[in-house]
Structure 1
């Protein structure tokens, strides 16, 4: 490391901090592993081994033309775990889109080597509004995102997506303009093709059938003010579908609660892992 090669030959950038029981962190769209830095440091300082990697197409990882479906992304997670020697007594934690990798790994790979899981502001179980998913997000919303990314990606990120991501101008835990710029910088490291393909992946993948595969302690954390991934669409439905899971709601927190509520999230993860 810092690079591992997946089964289809894609190079993935991996950050491996600390020593102890492994915690693998999958990042949100359209960011990269650096978005987990505060929690990774806290975990490493608490005696855990924090492993975060850039999803294919994002950050410092390779940008192949294909492989942005969740079956392939879950295989990538499995490959990172194996290459890092972190495929026993592991905890896998996904933020936003990364929750999908966690869910699909649990079903596709039978939860191999996993003793606990975390879904943080996650898209699981199903984002799209359908006849049997009344709390979902209308397809028009995803179409508008796709249009904004295609026409002027920097403008869309700066003026539409990132302010909403962090609740700028709305919530009592604002972030600085510098955090917004940092996040835009991460997002622009990704290729346009992976950005659009992963938008489709998290918008249209139904993880409801994957929920039964969660047979380990599972922590679910979500902000009640999340406008990017509404809590009724995601965390509350996931908590119902995953028996024995623990749902922790952060009052009025936006989507980017790993930054706005960084210390609280780090402590909640460490407490959960210590049980």
Structure 2
């Protein structure tokens, strides 16, 4: 399996598909507690249309190492930079889902856009997920405390509950549940080390990316479902648009947090159109 070692000795697994001679490359960052497999529909679609597509398993997740340290957004962004440098990628379009969207925002705020032309935030945790005095539309800390407690008590059952309910929107009466999607989400979640899964809850809840978004100087496409139960729409996408210099918002009506899985054709269409723009 292809992998490389970052500066602190952590081994990072990645996929590198499609046309290696393509002018641009699409680099995907996945959400919690998943891995690069969650992007397979988008990667397959774009690779079959002549693009080079790359996705890694974040440290602590999937087939990458499970280090005890470095489970924070700055290190996630640094790992992504080292992946791009390892493959010497240029003219990149970064695409991040959920926590991966936060990783993309922090990458651009921390490392700039010298190798990046465009970015896409999909159901992203941006700009700031936690409810605070200056972020009243956020989610109360008690919700995230309950996540950590559930991971400690019975992680396997908690991951079944999340996948069976709010993540895909299968708790909505109009949505038909896919047992395959539930199993896939659970499998990916259980491949993640418990330390990485537990600490990533802190990362996606408490990382404030408002200043990162202000620094981004490239076009950014924001994709979000207005029935997202994980990252509620009102506290996310509209607030992101207020901070971006060159942002475009596409709202998926009635859609859940799992846009790459539940709205495959729509997301693929938006990515391809944005690449060509």
Q: TM-score normalised to the size of structure 1?
A: 0.97
Q: Equivalents in 2 of 1:47, 1:25: separation in Å?
A: 16
Q: Equivalents in 2 of 1:246, 1:37: separation in Å?
A: 24
1:251 Cα deviation after fit: 0.4
Partner of 2:60: 57
Question: Contact between 1:163 and 1:180, CA under 8 Å: does it hold in 2?
Answer: no
Question: Contact between 2:163 and 2:186, CA under 8 Å: does it hold in 1?
Answer: no
Q: Equivalents in 2 of 1:48, 1:162: separation in Å?
A: 33
Partner of 1:35: 38
Q: Equivalents in 2 of 1:175, 1:95: separation in Å?
A: 21
1:169 Cα deviation after fit: 3.3
Q: Equivalents in 2 of 1:162, 1:32: separation in Å?
A: 18
Q: Equivalents in 2 of 1:8, 1:43: separation in Å?
A: 32
Question: Contact between 1:118 and 1:220, CA under 8 Å: does it hold in 2?
Answer: yes
1:161 Cα deviation after fit: 4.9
Q: Equivalents in 1 of 2:151, 2:106: separation in Å?
A: 26
Q: Equivalents in 2 of 1:22, 1:48: separation in Å?
A: 6
SS of the counterpart of 1:239? helix
1:112 Cα deviation after fit: 2.6
Q: CA RMSD in A?
A: 1.2
Partner of 2:259: 257
1:160 Cα deviation after fit: 3.7
Q: Equivalents in 2 of 1:61, 1:25: separation in Å?
A: 15
Q: Equivalents in 2 of 1:112, 1:213: separation in Å?
A: 13
Question: Contact between 1:175 and 1:260, CA under 8 Å: does it hold in 2?
Answer: no
Question: Contact between 2:14 and 2:55, CA under 8 Å: does it hold in 1?
Answer: yes
Which segments of 5 or more consecutive residues in structure 2 lack a partner in the other structure?
Answer: none
Partner of 1:48: 51
Partner of 1:10: 10
Q: Equivalents in 2 of 1:234, 1:26: separation in Å?
A: 18
Change beyond 3 A, Cα 1:22–1:171: farther
1:191 Cα deviation after fit: 0.5
Change beyond 3 A, Cα 1:5–1:132: same
Change beyond 3 A, Cα 1:272–1:148: same
Q: Equivalents in 2 of 1:40, 1:171: separation in Å?
A: 30
Question: Contact between 1:173 and 1:260, CA under 8 Å: does it hold in 2?
Answer: no
Per-residue CA deviations over 1:51-81 (Å, capped at 9, x if unaligned) read 0110000000000101111111100000111
Question: Equivalences for 1:233-244 in 2 at 5 Å?
Answer: 233-244=235-246
1:175 Cα deviation after fit: 4.0
Question: Equivalences for 1:97-108 in 2 at 5 Å?
Answer: 97-108=99-110
Partner of 1:197: 199
1:174 Cα deviation after fit: 3.4
Partner of 2:225: 223
Question: Equivalences for 1:1-275 in 2 at 5 Å?
Answer: 2-19=2-19, 20=22, 21-86=24-89, 88-170=90-172, 172-275=174-277
Q: Equivalents in 1 of 2:175, 2:241: separation in Å?
A: 26
Q: TM-score normalised to the size of structure 2?
A: 0.96
